[in-house]
Amino acid sequence: MMDQELILLNPGPACTSKRVKDALLRGDLCHREPEFTELLFRIREALPRCLNLGDTHEALLVTGSGTAAMEMAVISSVREGRAVLVVNNGVYGDRMIRIAKANGIPFYEIKSDWTVPADPGAVQAALDEHDDIDAVICIHHETTTGLINPIKEIGEIVHGRALFLIDAISGTAIEDQDLSEVKADVVCGTANKGLHGQPGMSFILCSEASIERIQEVPERSLYLNAASYLKGQRKGDVPFTPAVQVCYALDEAIKEYEEAGGFAARTKLYRERAALVRGQFERLGLKILVDEPFRSNTVTMLHLPDNVTYDALHDELKKRGYVIYAGQGQLSKDFFRICTMGEIPWHRLEELEEALRESIEAARG
Ligand SMILES: Cc1ncc(COP(=O)(O)O)c(C=O)c1O
């Protein structure tokens, strides 16, 4: 193992700055004290602003990983006897279906190939065919393959007919799409990933229509009922014990993000990183699964080189200071992922090319 810090090239948890890690040590704090209320108000106000939704959306924070935000969004958007339409082209689309099933919510599914972006025309057709759809769900960045879905186009179709929910968990503050141009009612995100906070807190950003809906749906879960978060958080309160230290870290990560230039600067950084590492992949002869126009700014799904297994490549790269990520589901045998998410020194990304070259050689069976 090198004596350099291990760089995580997986799509979260992502590496964080020293400043964000130090914020975890701000001290012990009871969430019923005014200092926590202040912290909560600051974060609630900042999150929509950070994602260009400051004038239109209200944040609800929940302790839990991104799936908690997804589940809260789904179960708080569909009225009794109504259904959800899930646009599914990857593991996270599948997870939305599983959430609907687990909560007894009727669903329709538009399933497509994992390497093909969702088809807005199919959403239009499904809305025309079924008159009981309360919410449409789409994953902005399908982390499964590093594929971007056309949320802007789908939002135009859904607007006024149903609520539009986007899972922006691995895309927020990373992908170029300005969310203020997307007609989304619920945006799911997390503290870690593109915001570079610590994992453990997630959030949903809600439009006015979504806030109204939250108050009309039945209570399907005690912990993930958005109505109780809405009621509490407007007063600076949370219904259950929050991950206080993760909130400290998120507060610091938001300051760091805004000081560095916010959305425009962070997305530019991610574009530059993608260009850098994809140039390396090309020189090394590594083939990318997803076609160019649909690629995200972070995840690249790559074919494993001939006679190289994922485990061998992973272990060789780890010896050289990098953690890569396996493919999921049907892609686990022949592919691997490299994700340039989080706080990564530029020189470590430049040095990745040599590390990859050596590791591929060493891993070749
Ligand atoms: C698109 C997407 N949605 C949701 C999640 C939530 O996963 P978790 O609950 O592990 O944070 C992830 C995590 O990588 C993701 O990439």
Q: What is the pLDDT of residues 264-321, one digit of tens each?
A: 999 999 999 999 999 999 999 999 999 999 999 999 999 999 999 999 999 999 999 9
Residues 86 and 150 in one domain: yes
Domain boundary among 243, 259, 275: 259
- CA of 339 from ligand 1 middle (Å) equals 14
Is residue 2 included in any domain, yes or no?
no
Structure tokens at 166: 């986007």
Residues 227 and 279 in one domain: no
pTM, full prediction: 0.97
Closest CA to ligand 1's atom 6: 66
Q: Are residues 304 and 346 in the same domain?
A: yes
Among the candidates 259, 287, 317, a domain finishes at: 259
Which residue's alpha carbon is nearest to atom 8 within ligand 1? Answer: 66
Q: Would you say the CB of residue 76 lies under 6 angstroms from ligand 1? A: no
**Rounded Cα gap, residues 298 and 260, in angstroms:** 19
- 276 and 230 within one domain: no
* Residue 365 pLDDT greater than 90, yes or no: no
Q: In three state form, how does the secondary structure of 148-166 look?
A: ECCHHHHHHHHCCCCEEEE
In 103-237, which ranges are continuous DSSP H helix?
A: 120-129, 151-158, 208-214, 226-234
Establish whether residue 192 lines the binding site of ligand 1, counting it when its CB lies within 6 angstroms of any ligand atom. no
| CATH number, domain with residue 306 | 3.90.1150.10
State whether 113 and 228 are in the same domain.
yes
Q: Is 11 in the pocket of ligand 1 (CB under 6 A)?
A: yes
Q: What is the pLDDT of residues 121-162, one digit of tens each?
A: 999 999 999 999 999 999 999 999 999 999 999 999 999 999
- Does residue 189 carry a pLDDT above 90? yes
Band (3; pLDDT cuts 50, 70, 90): low
Asked if residue 1 belongs to a domain, the reply is: no
Does any ligand 1 atom lie closer than 6 A to the CB of residue 48? no
What value does the mean pLDDT take over residues 175-199? 98
> For the chain, where are the alpha helices, taking DSSP H only?
18-23, 34-50, 66-75, 91-102, 120-129, 151-158, 208-214, 226-234, 244-259, 262-283, 310-319, 346-350, 352-363
Number of domains in the chain: 2
| Atom number, ligand 1, closest to the C-alpha of residue 171 | 1
Q: Is the CB of 297 under 6 A from ligand 1?
A: no
Checking if the pLDDT of 44 tops 70, the result is yes
> Is the pLDDT at 1 greater than 60, yes or no?
no
Question: Is there a single domain that holds both residue 222 and residue 323?
Answer: no
Does residue 233 belong to any structural domain of this protein? yes
Burial class (CB within 10 angstroms; exposed 0-12, middle 13-18, buried 19+) of 132: middle
d(CA 169, ligand 1 centre) in Å: 6
What is the CATH classification number for the domain harbouring 185?
3.40.640.10
- 24 pLDDT tier (thresholds 50, 70, 90): very high
Same domain as 234, residue 336: no
Question: Which residue among 218, 238, 259 closes a domain?
Answer: 259
93: in domain: yes
Please state, in angstroms and as integers, the Cα–Cα distance from residue 1 to each residue in 47, 316, 322, following that order: 38, 10, 10
Please report, to the nearest 10 degrees, the dihedral formed by the alpha carbons of residues 291, 297, 299, 302 taken in order.
Answer: 40
Q: Verify that 158 and 236 share a domain, yes or no.
A: yes
201, burial (CB in 10 Å: exposed 0-12, middle 13-18, buried 19+): buried
Q: How far is the CA of 170 from the centre of ligand 1 (A)?
A: 7
Strands 299-303 and 335-339: antiparallel
* pLDDT of amino acid 2: 56
Quote the domain boundaries for residue 56.
19-259
Q: Rounded distance, CA 99 to CA 96, Å?
A: 5
CA distance 10 to 60: 27
